[in-house]
């Protein structure tokens, strides 16, 4: 496991009938406090980010989010946290998880 900081970002699509305010509430009121307990923080101020338009390409997710964790272990501990498990049904009612994409990202150029 890595003791280096880990950054992840997700592309998310809202389920039909779900509003941007509901998505924001999920992130800011439900998820963020749990993420912070594990040393995580949002990658961007004013997160989550809502997609206004696709400038290039085919994808148009509704929401982009991202978090930085102090380590891989801290990120994995988040997913095992009972408080996180309690909000999974709300996440699944808010976002189309069959379309979600999650990426580990880096500010450094990839090495071969």
| 63 neighbors 48 (Cβ within 8 angstroms) | yes
Closest by Cα among 75, 79, 63, 78 to 24? 63
What's the confidence (pLDDT) of residue 2?
55
13-72, pLDDT tens digit by residue? 999 999 999 999 999 999 999 999 999 999 887 789 999 999 999 999 999 999 999 999
Q: pTM for the full model?
A: 0.86
What fold is seen in the domain 6-105? Alpha-Beta Plaits (3.30.70)
CA pair distance 66, 35, nearest whole angstrom: 11
């Amino acid at each position: 496991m890595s003791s280096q900081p880990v950054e992840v970002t997700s592309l998310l699509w809202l389920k039909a009938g779900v509003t941007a305010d509901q998505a924001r509430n999920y992130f800011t009121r439900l998820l963020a406090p749990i993420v912070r307990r594990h040393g995580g923080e949002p990658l961007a101020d004013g997160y989550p980010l809502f997609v206004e338009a696709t400038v290039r390409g085919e994808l148009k997710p509704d929401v982009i989010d991202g978090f930085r964790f102090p380590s891989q272990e801290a990120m994995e501990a988040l997913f095992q946290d009972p408080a996180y498990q309690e909000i999974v049904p709300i996440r699944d009612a808010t976002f189309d998880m069959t379309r979600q994409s999650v990426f580990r990202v880096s500010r450094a150029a990839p090495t071969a």
